[in-house]
Amino acid sequence: MVHGGRIPVETARLENGLRVTMSPDRTVPVVAVNLWYHVGSANERAGRTGFAHLFEHMLFQGSANVGANEHFELVQRAGGTLNGSTWLDRTNYFETVPSHHLELALWLEADRMARLLPAMTQEKLDTQREVVKNERRWTVDNQPYGTWWERLPAACFPEDHPFHHSLIGSMEDLSAASLEDVAAFFRTYYTPDNAVLTIAGDFERDTALLLVERHFGAIPSGGPREPLRGMDVPARFGSWRRELVADNVAVPRVFLACRAPVFGGEGYHVSSLTAGILGTGRGCRLHQSLVRDRQLASVATAFTFDFAKGSDLLIIDATARPGVSADALEAAMADQLDQLRTQGPRQGERERILALTETAFVTGMQTVADRADQLSRFATYLGDPALVNQEVPRYRAVTDTQLRAFADSYLGDDNRVSLVFVPSDGAPVSVS
């Protein structure tokens, strides 16, 4: 049960280094198991872009005691839901099951953490390689603006930076991935001391800890891991750079990115509220101005990527109304940044975004899956899952003065990258 917006958080650590977070809530008989490995596309070596994500697919291809696709089968047969996802600096795996199946979820996660490699075969790798190539076609290559989420990090981080290259990977690099890569990646990164395990929902603490010890306790720690190199970048871009992409799209779309304080760092909450003032909800500046008043955009939003290392990005994303040029749209977006810089927040703007943020935080704790994922996130990035309970107070502590100072120092034209998509009639893909 939640008291005063706080959720219960307890932690433990196994001898092999596995960090365990528990948040009991016995109101509904369901429980979430959520495992974060502190590895993502940033850890890939040259020539292997996309590997961390391909590897995530391989984790559903069985382990010593689990057949190919049996992981899905067993969890769904238990009445559970499951998936995994890969990000630049972490990969997560999660199940929500009726609570009497808690041990099944723990055993499945432990079996693949302890004994993945005996189940790996060339055939499975080849099939998943094709599946991932189709995922790339589906989300990137055959979608209008689909390349934005690899172009934007590439434009915002220098070439040798771990966040620069594509998360989904190039077709060429995906083709090059081998079983030896699978084994090396597994031994280096998929170890208990590089993971956080969270259990949230209907369980009893002591029993759960015993189960965790039983299934994960004997898994050996990993060896030393090379830290990510060259993560630090200047706090601001130092200029306003612009990348123009002619693509098979119907109307222009502009992404405007500013470097911003990392998730969990000094100034993060100010940055996050600023993104909300600009671009969350119907009462935000971008919607009021670009969509409603000036009718330059059909959609205009802003958000932070929430990177926890190097530098975060605050991004404005707007799609032009037919007939509106990319230049006019981009100028209007920049104008919104300038106005916030020179005038600061208006009366009531901070209160509005704070109220929305509080509701989103509490409703986000309603499902055990989301709750567990948040706890894993705070444990992985900040070392303390209980910090989740500081979120609302930290947002509340932000002042108008801080918002104005943030806008002044981060939203200026010395800290912008524009990624501009424009329709190209000569593009290779067109609908007739």
Among 36, 51, 107, 268, the residue binding another protein under the rule CB under 8 A is 107
Burial class of residue 320 in the structure, from the number of CB atoms within 10 Å of its CB (0-12 exposed, 13-18 middle, 19+ buried): buried
Among 15, 69, 230, 396, the residue binding another protein under the rule CB under 8 A is 69
Residues numbered 352 to 381 that lie near another protein (CB under 8 A) are 352-353, 355-356, 358-359, 362-363, 365-368
- In three-state secondary structure terms, 375 is helix
Distance, in Å, from the CA atom of 373 to the CA atom of 379, rounded to the nearest integer, reads: 10
Residue placing its CB nearer to another protein in the complex, 401 or 430: 430
Residue placing its CB nearer to another protein in the complex, 55 or 157: 55
Among 35, 97, 340, 411, the residue binding another protein under the rule CB under 8 A is 97
| H or E element in which residue 198 lies | strand 195-201
Residue placing its CB nearer to another protein in the complex, 88 or 97: 97
Residue placing its CB nearer to another protein in the complex, 187 or 346: 346
Q: Considering the complex, what minimum distance in angstroms separates the CB of residue 36 from another protein?
A: 21
Q: Backbone phi, then psi, for 379, in 5-degree steps?
A: -65, -40
Under the binding rule (CB under 8 A), the answer on residue 175 touching another protein is no
Residue placing its CB nearer to another protein in the complex, 224 or 322: 322
Distance, in Å, from the CA atom of 263 to the CA atom of 320, rounded to the nearest integer, reads: 30
Among 64, 183, 184, 246, the residue binding another protein under the rule CB under 8 A is 64
- In three-state secondary structure terms, 299 is strand
Kindly write down the DSSP assignment for every residue of 32-98, as one continuous string: EEEEEES--GGGPPTT-TTHHHHHHHHTTS-BTTB-TTHHHHHHHHTT-EEEEEE-SS-EEEEEEEE
- Binding residue count for another protein, defined by CB under 8 A: 88
Distance, in Å, from the CA atom of 263 to the CA atom of 381, rounded to the nearest integer, reads: 8
Residue placing its CB nearer to another protein in the complex, 252 or 261: 252
Residue placing its CB nearer to another protein in the complex, 29 or 238: 29
Q: Which stretch binds another protein (CB under 8 A): 226-234, 237-245, 396-404, 423-431?
A: 423-431
Pairing assessment for the beta strands 30-37 and 239-247 based on DSSP bridges: unpaired
Distance, in Å, from the CA atom of 85 to the CA atom of 186, rounded to the nearest integer, reads: 16
**Radius of gyration over alpha carbons of the chain, in Å?**
23
The binding track of 23-62 with respect to another protein, each residue x by CB under 8 A or -, is: --x-xxxx--------------------------------
| H or E element in which residue 279 lies | helix 268-279
β partners of residue 30: 98
Q: Considering the complex, what minimum distance in angstroms separates the CB of residue 347 from another protein?
A: 11
Q: Considering the complex, what minimum distance in angstroms separates the CB of residue 230 from another protein?
A: 33
Residue placing its CB nearer to another protein in the complex, 251 or 313: 251
Tokens of 78: 């238990």
The binding track of 277-296 with respect to another protein, each residue x by CB under 8 A or -, is: ----xxx---xx--xx--x-
Tokens of 340: 């916030």
Q: Which stretch binds another protein (CB under 8 A): 9-17, 72-80, 229-237, 400-408?
A: 72-80
Q: Which stretch binds another protein (CB under 8 A): 104-112, 187-195, 229-237, 326-334?
A: 104-112
The binding track of 116-155 with respect to another protein, each residue x by CB under 8 A or -, is: ----------xxxxxxxxxx-xxx-xxxx-----------
Under the binding rule (CB under 8 A), the answer on residue 170 touching another protein is no
Burial class of residue 427 in the structure, from the number of CB atoms within 10 Å of its CB (0-12 exposed, 13-18 middle, 19+ buried): exposed
